Structure formats: C-alpha cells, structure tokens
Amino acid sequence: MINAPYGLLAELTHKCPLHCLYCSNPLALRPREEELGTEDWLRVIREAAELGVLQVHFSGGEPLLRNDLEELIAEADRCELYTNLITSGLGLTERRAKGLVAAGLNSAQLSIQGDNPESTALIADSKRFDKKAEAAGIIRESGLPLNMNVVLHRLNLDRLDAIIDVCDSWGAERLELANTQYYGWGLRNREVLMPSREQLARGEEVYRRRKEELADRMELLWILPDYYERYPKPCMGGWAHSSFTVAPDGMAYPCPVAADIDSLKFPSVRTAALEWIWMESPAFQAFRGTDWMPDPCRSCSRKEIDFGGCRCQAFALTGDAARTDPVCVHSPDHHLISDAVERANSDTPAPEPVFRR
C-alpha cells in the first residue's frame, strides 16, 4: 500500500549567496533560466494538497531570491498547508518578513555555519555573519518561532558550546545539530570535513550537557554522523515513503539528493501530474518497500527499520543505487566507509577545501 506523502520540499532556486563546503544539493545545479515559473509552482502546491501533503518546506539555494515567494506561501496557506521557510537569512528584511507572515508563513529555519564571522568565511566563503544575526532578530520580531540549524564537521565541532551560546542568545527555540552527510558537493570535501572519533565524542558530550541545561527554553537535536554508526539511517523514512522534492527545474525526486542517480529516469511536474509521479512513476517505485532489496538486506531482521539505508549514498559510493548502504557493517562495500573513517583518524593531512561555485 502506498501512503499519501506528508511533506513537499519545494526547492525554488539553486542560486545561493553562500558557497558551503558541505552543500548537499546535487552536483549539477539548475540555472535560473530553467526554473519553474510562478503558475507552475502554484499548480504544484495545489496538486500536493490534493495528494494529501500537509507541510511545504520552501528551500533552495536561497528561496528569498524568488520574488514570488509570498504568492506561493499564500497559495499553500489557502490550501491549508503548514509552511516553513529554510533560509540562510541573507536578504531577509523586516519588510520582507512582514510580507511572508502576512502571506501565511508558519515557521522559519535559519542556518549558521558557526559562532562567528570567521567560521562563516571558512565554511561558506561569506563575510555576512552579521546578516544572520540580523535575520534571527527579524524572524523573532515577526512573531515566528526561530528554528536554527548548523551542520557540524571537523572545522566547527570543537566550538559547539559557543555555537549553542550564539543560538541561545539569538532566542532560538529549536536547534538542529546536523552532523555532515557526505552527499553532492559535501562528498568532494569529505576529507576536509570528517571529524575524528574523539572530536565527535567530545561534541556529543557537549550536546548532552547543553540539552539538559537548556531544556526549559531550547530544544536541541543531534543528527547522527552515520559514518560512525554500525547501521545506516532509515533515510527519508524509506524511498518515496512520506515526502518528496520538486527541484527548481520541476524535476520530482523522492529526496533532495536523488538527482545524481543517473540510472533512474525521474519525472517532471512540467509533464506529469503529481499523483501519477507519487503513485506510479517508475523512479518513485524503484526502491519502495523491501522487494527491491539485495542480500544482505533481503534476509535481514532490520530491513523494515532502516530500509537498507540511503539510496543516494549507495549510488554515490558504489555507482549502484540498489546496493546495501555501505554504512552498514554487513554491506560488502563497508570498507568504503571504514577506510574513510580510518583516514579521518590518522595523521594524513586533509586536502584543500573546495567551495561550491
């Protein structure tokens, strides 16, 4: 049985003022001239609501770069969808925030790269930490809850206490501490970004201590660093199980990274209805459920728990999206993970970081 999807990630544009080392967007970014127009997005939002979607996350790139963002939010609001804005904060003004709230925006998630201007420059090649502080104030002033996100890695994990202090001082109600996932551009910088085992253990200790200390005012979440786990994460809750992504050019994917899987032919909202895409398109059916699984997943007692892990990670590391996620200790490809972990814990000097352009 196929469930109705719960969430739509609407990637309005790949254009972004930041150049993050860990960007998980696909390697080939869509240019602005290929972006869906307003009418197409309005139709996608209506079709999503009819399909059963409850939440729309407007993302990118930087979704504030779209002048029709207010119009799209208003349509989602008319369709009684919960709306969330995922933003770098760059370009958010008081006036824009008022317009977004008036259109029906329900929440905003602001990302930071660290606790100071130097970390923003080091990781995102941007000098605009001041703009992030300003955006946090604007979000709170507008009456929206301030949710924050920071991607954690070798270059900022040792400053976790200071990062949490900054988010607390800005009035964040929720902070997602997302250990880097090595997809898309992030995989290119894996050796720059992967922390050592000790560094990660120290970071996790800080997370536990601060979670308890701040329990009365800020919710802290720790997204697991899967290279250090024995078993993979149940990525996306299973392929095409509860949410999907529409990319800036209208291509539809079961997850934000799947565009890199070139062995599947993904559908487009320009030429197909969302209902067909979700219920019947071959790319969405490809890894649904457990029938597609190879061994060792096929005969494993965890197959309904982690669904064989992440298809994008399997593809990125082995070239075959149908293999068991190499993170799993039972995977025949697990050496691809353990070798990377070993390098991160050795004296091998890290290569030069490559910023996303």
Q: Which three-class secondary structure state does DSSP give residue 336?
A: helix
Q: Among ligand SF4, ligand FES, none, what does residue 235 contact (CB within 5–8 Å per kind)?
A: ligand FES
Residue selected from 86, 257, 259, 269 as contacting ligand FES according to rule CB under 6 A: 257
Q: Among ligand FES, ligand SF4, none, what does residue 306 contact (CB within 5–8 Å per kind)?
A: ligand SF4
d(CA 6, CA 39): 23
Closest CA relative to residue 12, chosen from 176, 190, 249, 344: 249
Dihedral pair phi/psi, residue 170, rounded to 5°: -85, -5
Tell whether residue 20 is among the known ligand binding residues: yes
Tell me which residues in 177-196 interact with ligand FES (CB under 6 A). Answer: 183
How many amino acids of this chain bind ligand FES (CB under 6 A)? 9
Residue selected from 45, 255, 317, 327 as contacting ligand FES according to rule CB under 6 A: 255
Segment contacting ligand FES by CB under 6 A, of 54-62, 161-169, 213-221, 309-317: 309-317
The CA-atom distances, in angstroms, between 110 and each of 68, 72, 86, 89, 124 are 20, 19, 6, 6, 14
Nearer to ligand FES, 211 or 303 (CB): 303
Q: What secondary structure does DSSP assign to 45-59, as a single string?
A: HHHHHHHT--EEEEE
Nearer to ligand FES, 138 or 312 (CB): 312
Residue selected from 137, 145, 171, 296 as contacting ligand SF4 according to rule CB under 6 A: 296
d(CA 249, CA 190): 28
Closest CA relative to residue 293, chosen from 239, 244, 233, 237: 239
CB of 354 to ligand SF4, least distance (A): 30
Tell me which residues in 71-130 interact with ligand FES (CB under 6 A). Answer: none
Closest CA relative to residue 156, chosen from 102, 194, 197, 108: 194
The footprint of ligand SF4 (CB under 6 A) covers: 231-232, 296-297, 300, 302-303, 306, 308-309, 324-325, 328, 330
